[in-house]
């Protein structure tokens, strides 16, 4: 067989294996439903239900369509949900399928990048297969709202690939593709801002000549994105839960490194919630993390000239981890899905070891046996972890074993208990969340919903008012309080509440619908029609009975 035929066969076999493994290990995630942030980004998000809302997606945060304030600006992520909704409506299986396809695409980009960097299909195949099967990625793939990680990774990797191709060829079309990929990466997730540092690492690690004219447009795209984000959300990065100093956060960075290394080697006891804990420098995890960090960095620098792969892999890991390192304050000291891009450095080192074993006749059988055993082990853990994601109650209860003081987990568990009709457990979960964090507006809002469903108007009203006092921009709390006012004959008060809500978000369909009811009750039928039409246009389900009553009153 001719060498070029062998090469093509190897390429197709590698790509085929990655695709098959992707569907094999994540196939059972298709059984999962919506939960946690899926409620805000998909289920209750009116913006994704019609392509006429594209402009709103680019001018609001990701949860505005559900009347919730987030500080994440990820319009491309929301556009993918819009495309999903047009195909599947609210069938969660379709959204999970898209996540699987994105993960496979990211793994293929990993394979392509390593092939370009090292010209070694065996190395890139090992790396791609480790990436596709490792269970550390389940939080990004099995969780619909985790999509941003894989989406951003695809475009970050494509940008890097096109940049290398442009540096080597000078092709202008390839360069345009590179800048476009970077822009799409930024519109997918904020951590893509690290890409200029990745490009600089490439020049330094591989001793490639740096061309300022090729690099400047990358900086232009970077600052343009920051400016747009400032204009849309009035903040360059997501808000933090509380003010802290770098000295308070720094030990957490080293503690996270210890945990990340452990999870990459032995990915068991995975969970979603680590929280915004603070550590002291004398903590064993912190000391271990300091030793790991400086040992790896010193080793990488010593290997810069003799082993480019080691230097590049270790540097990649720490550079791509920087946006989530908590050096800039964020809402957790670590999270498993933040390893989506950094893990490539880890897998590259492992893949290099396996390729050496495979090419050494004495260790060939051992190397391939060990690799197969490892990928099977990772695959088993991934399939098992997917089963947790498929059962949200079990997932939250399991997570609380590792994070018993997580107010978010208690709150989310309360939501599931309420959906399942277990009001007593739901109330206990919300109150537990509030006992841990008394200023948690979302828990008061959810508690208000619970009391409203139970018919306890007085307690529901009090809970909504507490949520609004903590967060004066809580649109849904205003709206649901207005619902109670409408139900108890306080239509004038309901109008005031809805108007306040619309000052915050003029395009909330549910507020317009509730305002239409309030105006109807106040005999202001023209205004009722105006807001009812607006509600339907924004995606609120048409209420035929209400429309008949409204038309009948207007005829009188």
Question: DSSP assignment of 111-169, as one string?
Answer: HHHHHHHH--HHHHHHHHHHHHH-GGGHHHHTSGGGHHHHHHHHHHHHHHHHHHHHHHH
pLDDT at 473: 87
pLDDT at 273: 84
pLDDT at 238: 55
Phi, psi of 366 (to 5 degrees): -60, -45
pLDDT at 1: 47
Burial group, residue 1, by CB count within 10 angstroms (0-12, 13-18, 19+) = exposed
pLDDT at 534: 86
Count the Cβ atoms, other than its own, within 10 Å of residue 173.
10
Residue stretches of the chain with pLDDT short of 50: 1, 241
Nearby residues of 231 by Cβ (< 8 Å), 6 or more positions away: none
- Rounded CA-CA distance 49/83 in Å is 9
Domains 405-472 and 473-556 equal at CATH topology level: yes
What are the domain boundaries of the chain? Answer: 14-34+90-235+335-390, 405-472, 473-556
pTM higher than the cut 0.85: yes
- The architecture that CATH gives domain 473-556 is Alpha Horseshoe (1.25)
pLDDT at 4: 57
For the domain made up of 405-472, the CATH class stated in words is mainly alpha
89: left (phi over 0), alpha (psi -120 to 50) or beta: left
pLDDT at 547: 63
Three-state DSSP class for residue 244: coil
């Amino acid at each position: 067989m001719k060498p070029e035929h062998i090469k093509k066969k190897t390429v197709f076999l590698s790509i085929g294996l990655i695709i098959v493994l992707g569907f094999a290990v994540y196939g059972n995630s298709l059984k999962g439903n919506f939960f946690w942030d899926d409620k805000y980004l998909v289920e209750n998000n009116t913006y994704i239900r019609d392509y006429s809302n594209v402009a709103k997606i680019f001018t609001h945060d990701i949860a505005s369509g559900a009347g919730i304030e987030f500080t994440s600006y990820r319009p491309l992520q929301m556009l993918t949900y819009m495309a999903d909704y047009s195909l599947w409506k609210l069938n969660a299986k379709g959204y999970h399928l898209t996540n699987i396809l994105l993960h496979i695409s990211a793994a293929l980009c990993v394979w392509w990048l390593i092939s370009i960097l090292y010209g070694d299909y065996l190395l890139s195949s090992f790396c791609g297969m480790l990436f596709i099967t490792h269970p550390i990625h389940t939080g990004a793939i099995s969780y619909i709202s985790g999509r941003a990680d894989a989406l951003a990774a695809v475009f970050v990797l494509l940008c890097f690939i096109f940049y290398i191709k442009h540096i080597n060829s000078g092709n202008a079309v390839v360069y345009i593709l590179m800048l476009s990929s970077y822009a799409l990466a930024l519109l997918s997730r904020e951590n893509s801002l690290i890409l200029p540092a990745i490009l600089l690492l490439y020049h330094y690690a591989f001793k490639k000549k740096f061309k300022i004219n090729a690099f400047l447009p990358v900086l232009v795209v970077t600052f343009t994105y920051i400016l747009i984000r400032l204009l849309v959300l009035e903040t360059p990065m997501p808000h933090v839960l509380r003010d802290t100093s770098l000295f308070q956060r720094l030990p957490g960075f080293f503690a996270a490194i210890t945990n990340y290394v452990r999870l990459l080697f032995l990915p068991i006891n995975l969970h979603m919630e680590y929280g915004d804990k603070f550590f002291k420098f004398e903590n064993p995890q912190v000391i271990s993390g300091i030793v790991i960090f400086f040992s790896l960095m010193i080793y990488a620098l010593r290997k810069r000239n003799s082993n480019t792969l080691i230097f590049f892999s270790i540097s990649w890991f720490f550079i791509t981890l920087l946006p989530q390192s908590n050096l800039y304050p964020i809402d957790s000291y670590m999270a498993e899905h933040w390893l989506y891009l950094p893990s490539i450095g880890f897998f590259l080192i492992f893949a290099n070891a396996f390729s050496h074993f495979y090419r050494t006749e004495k260790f060939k059988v051992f190397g391939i046996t060990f690799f197969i055993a490892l990928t099977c082990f990772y695959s088993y853990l991934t399939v098992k972890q997917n089963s947790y994601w498929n059962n949200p109650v079990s997932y939250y209860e399991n997570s609380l074993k590792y994070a018993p003081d997580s107010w978010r987990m208690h709150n989310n568990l309360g939501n599931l208990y309420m959906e399942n009709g277990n009001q007593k457990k739901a109330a206990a979960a919300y109150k537990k969340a509030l006992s841990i964090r008394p200023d948690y507006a979302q828990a008061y809002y959810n508690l208000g919903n619970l009391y409203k469903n139970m018919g306890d108007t007085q307690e529901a009203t009090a809970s909504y008012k507490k949520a609004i006092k903590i967060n004066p921009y809580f649109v849904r709390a205003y709206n649901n309080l207005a619902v109670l006012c409408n139900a108890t004959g306080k239509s004038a008060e309901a109008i005031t509440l809805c108007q306040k809500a619309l000052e915050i978000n003029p395009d909330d369909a549910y507020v317009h619908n509730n305002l239409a009811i309030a105006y109807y009750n106040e005999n202001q039928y023209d205004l009722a029609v105006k807001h009812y039409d607006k509600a339907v246009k924004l995606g609120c389900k048409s209420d035929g009975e209400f429309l008949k009553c409204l038309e009948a009153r207007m005829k009188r």
